[in-house]
Structure 1
Amino acid sequence: MPVLRESARSPRLDTASLPLGFGAFSALVSRSFVPLQVRSDHQDSFRGDIRAATTDDVHVSVVTADGHEIHRTPELVARSSHRCFKVGLQLAGTGLLIQDNREAVLRPGDLTVYDTDSPYTLVFEEGFSTLVLMVPHRVLELPTDAVRGMTAATIDGGDGLARVVTRFLGELACDLGQLDGPIGGRLARNAVDLVTTLYARELDVARDADRPHRVMLRRVQAHIDDHLGDPDLTPGSIAAAAYISTRHLHALFHEEGLTVSTYIRSRRLDRCRRELADPLAAHRPVGQVATRWGFTDAAHFSRAFRAEFGEPPSAFRARAISA
């Protein structure tokens, strides 16, 4: 289904041929995402469907249905351990997202983000179709509090970088089968990377105007990302490359609630995790992957990986590649 920017009323979707009635659709919604309440004033005639693909921690779904409401209530949030961001791309029809005392009208081509760790409401008065990219907070690789500050806000998918993102996601929506097989994981991670880049830019635009130190922080973080494989990457070497003092470097990270060492460790672990989940890198021993991203002690890497992700790197690789 193409992604379009429309200034006029969106066309009514023909959902009559969709396979699920209201009860089955409601149950599938909670199984596919997080526990949710679904409401409709036309349950007897309701039709809907969800197509989905999951690879590693990335869940991509296309929801097409008659009009209904979705509620993530405070009670459901309290009972759930799922802490994910959901990035929505409106494909057809219109909707309304309400979260954190903000409201966003969703039209075809609009991108928005919402947080499963906070109550929200989605209202679709008529037939619609939307793509949802759901990832754990840490996978989006952006400050969680900063992203929460952008929930229930739209990005016009017809301009600049957003157009690249919406086209990529729109192509996935047309054929979720692309996410199957050894290349599927890479495509899913590419989708997350594109969305992360887009929201990183939006956060910079929104926040850097009155916080000039963030420009320097972004430069420093880019340097770290480019040198993660260097075992001699230290606060001293980073500060020298940025032509600032080590004290200034630590202050930059402290203002964001971070430390230099934990940031480096987190980025290295994420790169290792990505490579271990990649079937095309299955021939590389775990130790080689660790060394490639700056871990010189195999035992330390194994402990750090397990502490971060809840299982040893070898077990994670076996599970991720066989999934």
Structure 2
Amino acid sequence: MLLLDLDTVAPRERVEAFHHALTDSLVPNDVAHEEPETGIRARMELWRVGGLDFFATRNSGFQVRRTAQHVHHHRSDPIVSVSLQPRGVHRAEVADRRTLLGADDICVFHELSPRVYGWSGDGASQAIMFDMNRLGVPVDTVVRASLRLRASPLYGLVLEHLRGVWRDPGRLEHDPGAQALASATTELVRALLLSAAHAEQAPEVRSTMDETLLTRITAYARAHLADRDLTPERIAAEHAVSVRRLYALLSGAGISLEQWLISERLGKARHMLASARYDRLTVAAVSARCGFSSPSHFSRRFQAAYGVSPSEWRRQGGAVATDGGD
């Protein structure tokens, strides 16, 4: 949903429109713009994916300051925002610590903590809002974690996951799996915060790491379906567990790793073949992108799973995609 496009607003009204959109979608803040008279540009969008608010803005230089007074008058459902900075160099200040943030950084703010955030020139931010009751992490833990996120071994995994869900939030908004995705995203963020805030040996961190291990393993595997060397040994090593424990964990969830990987790869291929976005790729190229060892192996598996060949599905799937797919 488009919240604001200042290109459609008269220059003299842009400051008020910007502030109105920002405070309506988030919480009250003090806002200062680099060029309040004529140079303000902004485009804000909002999506709701499985109960999580996804807020994106691209705008000219500004600074948002959340003061102790704002915190004192916070609303009854405080949130934690977890954002990426896809464009520009961002400045943040929390607990008297100043940092610069770029494209490889995750930025975390708790609504109940004073902070400063902004950038100069053209910049963009993509933030997911987590309800505190759903996230279940105390304020001091969030603040402590926000200052040392990269200390967590989960940082890279969560960064890639967040980048993935931001590729097309509009499409995810209406996906049947949106609720499950929101739950998995919440659990991954919760694990990152606890991991970064405490020593790994802390009982609450170890418990959370154990509870989210299955989610982290399946998220990792889905992100690497195209890799033909996605072996049980590699998956186990990436998560610091033995292959035996990996199989035991998956078995307890009713998952056969090899069959699950084939099913996920076939599902990805099925979508690609029915999507106009990939219509220039050959069946062999789709097979390779989905991690199959050879086109013939892929075709046999696809025929067995869906009752049609990949080429036949592409011919049928084109109409399906036109009706409501990509």
TM superposition score category, shorter chain reference: 0.5 to 0.7
How far apart are the structure 2 equivalents of 1:18 and 1:176? 23
Q: Which residue of 1 aligns with 2:78?
A: 83
The question of whether the paired residues in 2 share the 8 Å contact of 1:103 and 1:153 is answered with no
How far apart are the structure 2 equivalents of 1:101 and 1:86? 19
Partner letter of residue 170 of structure 1? Answer: R
The question of whether the paired residues in 2 share the 8 Å contact of 1:179 and 1:188 is answered with no
Q: Which residue of 2 aligns with 1:169?
A: 162
The question of whether the paired residues in 2 share the 8 Å contact of 1:59 and 1:133 is answered with yes
* 2:195 paired with 1:179: no
Partner letter of residue 173 of structure 1? Answer: W
The question of whether the paired residues in 1 share the 8 Å contact of 2:145 and 2:194 is answered with no
How far apart are the structure 2 equivalents of 1:224 and 1:78? 34
How far apart are the structure 1 equivalents of 2:104 and 2:120? 18
The question of whether the paired residues in 1 share the 8 Å contact of 2:29 and 2:70 is answered with yes
How far apart are the structure 1 equivalents of 2:100 and 2:87? 13
Residues 117 and 103 from structure 1, CA distance in 2 versus in 1: closer, same or farther, beyond 3 angstroms? same
* 2:121 paired with 1:122: no
The question of whether the paired residues in 2 share the 8 Å contact of 1:112 and 1:152 is answered with no
Q: Which residue of 2 aligns with 1:102?
A: 97
Residues 225 and 91 from structure 1, CA distance in 2 versus in 1: closer, same or farther, beyond 3 angstroms? closer
How far apart are the structure 1 equivalents of 2:212 and 2:179? 21
The question of whether the paired residues in 1 share the 8 Å contact of 2:154 and 2:195 is answered with no
Higher relative CO (Cα under 8 Å, sequence separation at least 6) belongs to 1
Q: Which residue of 1 aligns with 2:324?
A: none
Which residue among 184, 191, 215 is the counterpart of 1:190?
184
The question of whether the paired residues in 2 share the 8 Å contact of 1:112 and 1:155 is answered with no
How far apart are the structure 2 equivalents of 1:71 and 1:219? 35
The question of whether the paired residues in 2 share the 8 Å contact of 1:19 and 1:48 is answered with no
Q: Which residue of 1 aligns with 2:194?
A: 200
Partner letter of residue 162 of structure 1? Answer: Y
Which residue among 51, 58, 75 is the counterpart of 2:45?
51
The question of whether the paired residues in 1 share the 8 Å contact of 2:144 and 2:197 is answered with no
Deviation digits for residues 87-133 of structure 1 (CA, Å, limit 9, x no counterpart)? 12111111111122122211112012111112211121121111111
The question of whether the paired residues in 2 share the 8 Å contact of 1:88 and 1:113 is answered with yes
Residues 193 and 221 from structure 1, CA distance in 2 versus in 1: closer, same or farther, beyond 3 angstroms? closer
Q: Which residue of 2 aligns with 1:37?
A: 30
How far apart are the structure 1 equivalents of 2:68 and 2:98? 18
* 2:80 paired with 1:70: no
Residues 223 and 64 from structure 1, CA distance in 2 versus in 1: closer, same or farther, beyond 3 angstroms? closer
What is the Cα deviation at residue 177 of structure 1? 0.9
Q: CA RMSD in A?
A: 3.0
3-state DSSP of counterpart to 1:174: coil
Which residue among 137, 140, 145 is the counterpart of 1:145?
140
| Identical positions, percent | 19
Q: Which residue of 2 aligns with 1:295?
A: none
- For structure 1, which runs of at least 5 residues remain unmatched after alignment? 1-15, 227-323
Which has the higher Rg, Structure 1 or Structure 2?
2
Partner letter of residue 173 of structure 2? Answer: D
* TM-score of the two chains, using structure 2 as the length reference: 0.54
- For structure 2, which runs of at least 5 residues remain unmatched after alignment? 214-326
The question of whether the paired residues in 1 share the 8 Å contact of 2:50 and 2:173 is answered with no
Q: Which residue of 1 aligns with 2:245?
A: none
Matched residue count: 202
